[in-house]
Amino acid sequence: MAQAVPEKVELFKGIRWYDGFVVALANPGFLIGSLGYSIGALGGWGAALLWSISMLIGVGSNWIYAEMASMFPDKPGGIALYAHEGWRRYFSLIGVVATFGYWFAWSTVLSIFGIVVGTLVQSQWFPGQTWTFFDGAIDVGLPHFIAAGLILLVWAFNIFGIRPAVWFGYVTGVLLLIPLAVFIIGPFVTGQWQAANLHFGMGDNHITLKLALVWLYVMGWSSYGVEACAAFAPEYKDTVNDTNRALKSAALFSLVVYALLPLGITGTIGEQAAVKDPVAFYVPAFTQIVGGASGLMVFLLAASLVLSMNTATADGSRALYGIARDDMTIKELYQLNKYRVPSRAMTVDMIVNLLLVFFVGNTLGILVAGNLGYILAHFFALTGFLLLRKDRPDWPRPIRANNIWIPIAALLAVANLVFIIFGVTNPDITGYGTFRDLLIGVGVLLISVLLYIYRRVAQDHQSVRLREMPPPLPPAGAHG
């Protein structure tokens, strides 16, 4: 007797490369959220130099990831899944740690930026609403409820399909371009830019090699984020070409912004403004360049951070979905709703971040703790590129990087390893985190291993395999 076989539901192929580019506009939003702290620690010239170096690493990495995306066009979740493919024949837990660490770093963007936006909104429009109540863990106030509302908002835009999420990105992306233009072009047009406002280091404190390496570790979670375009590879109409164009265009645009924004804003308003208020120093800078309208500036800043939250929801949920799809975490997350988006993974992201907002409150340390897994994901993805070149020479590569990228990938991988070593051994040098926060990040990575074991043993009824031999060629039709 014939049985009905349910149709396999796949991610909706409905976006083009420029949609991916808009999603990656979250990166300048990440820079806006961190720039003031770096200027206060490194000086204007120092911040501009290190952000440019960090972004150059991101650009080079994206050129390499374009080849890997073309090798695995059906894999949602981006670079961490590519890392798994490269390392699985040597140590399968590498992929588990890389993918979960990647997800956690992207996911916590929601809570930290939600609270930052809530604080900006309260300061600008509701300065008298300073009420709080103790929920058993932290003092909860208006910024926390604003953050929760924004988390629910971006969840709603994403849960109804990729197109609403992308259009939401277009709206917030256009709003982001306004302050970028004001800060990058405005100072030179108005003649207010002065080189004397920029220095290497602050006062008598010079930039040491250790300080630079730790800051490059911290900066990676922002500048490397242009790889998010790869997370949507199965959803591009022309998977290979759209992924390639999105990765490279987003990387080059972000390089321009990361090099010029620190110079433009610091050369106009000076470094002490960032020292006094590293979050809201953009408001007086905006006023100095174009006049009043501080409320407009706060609105534009908030829009840029909400765009980052939107991207984090889209990217992080696809990472969870991809991890479950490749049998590395609980199978319940391998699910798409009727709009063909990973709604369960998005809901997990939402719940985790609401808990962070209401029971942790200040999630900056947790975000930096998550950075360990994120930079590790890049290290394993870059070394995975080298292993794939060695182990799968005959695997189809519709985009094949020139062989010069082999030593470049090795150099970038070593650089990230050095950043990790200095970053995790000196977590307090930037004021961003402590060893306690580092332990939280390590704990998250250990949980990923436990979930992998549970998936293998309890759900799949298989033994835990520390090495998995991949096929030398993809299944027939996988690149068709």
Q: What is the pTM of this model?
A: 0.90
On the 0-12 / 13-18 / 19+ scale of CB atoms within 10 A, 402 is exposed
- Whether residue 7 is contained in a domain is answered as no
Domain that holds residue 229: 17-459
On the 0-12 / 13-18 / 19+ scale of CB atoms within 10 A, 284 is middle
Residues near 413 by beta carbon (within 8 Å), at least 6 away in sequence: 379, 382, 383, 386
- CA gap 406, 389 in Å, rounded: 9
Is 80 exceeded by the pLDDT of residue 63? yes
Is 70 exceeded by the pLDDT of residue 7? no
> Percent of the chain, pLDDT > 90?
38
- Whether residue 42 is contained in a domain is answered as yes
β-pairing verdict for 132-134 and 139-141: antiparallel
- Whether residue 476 is contained in a domain is answered as no
- CA gap 30, 229 in Å, rounded: 15
Work out the pLDDT band at 433, boundaries 50, 70, 90.
Answer: low
Q: What is the pLDDT of residue 350?
A: 92
Total domains in the chain come to 1
Each residue of 340-359: pLDDT tens digit? 888 899 999 999 889 888 88
Task: Please choose, from the candidates 412, 194, 170, 402, the residue with its C-alpha nearest in 3D space to the C-alpha of residue 289.
Answer: 194
Can you tell me the mean pLDDT for 330-335?
Answer: 88
- CA gap 155, 72 in Å, rounded: 27
Give, in order, the Cα–Cα distances in Å from 217 to each of 390, 409, 430. 28, 17, 10
- Whether residue 198 is contained in a domain is answered as yes
Which CATH number covers residue 86?
Answer: 1.20.1740.10
Give, in order, the Cα–Cα distances in Å from 68 to each of 224, 241, 392. 16, 13, 12
Is 70 exceeded by the pLDDT of residue 422? yes
- Whether residue 5 is contained in a domain is answered as no
**Amino acid letter at 84?**
H
Contact yes or no for 113/33 (Cβ under 8 A): yes
Over the chain, what is the mean pLDDT?
Answer: 87
Each residue of 76-114: pLDDT tens digit? 878 999 999 999 999 999 999 998 889 888 888 888 889
- Whether residue 233 is contained in a domain is answered as yes
- Whether residue 468 is contained in a domain is answered as no
**Amino acid letter at 284?**
P
Contact yes or no for 105/319 (Cβ under 8 A): no
Residues 52/54/56/61 CA torsion (nearest 10 deg): -160
Each residue of 138-193: pLDDT tens digit? 888 999 999 999 999 999 888 887 778 778 778 888 888 888 888 999 888 888 88
Can you tell me the mean pLDDT for 207-226?
Answer: 91
- Whether residue 8 is contained in a domain is answered as no
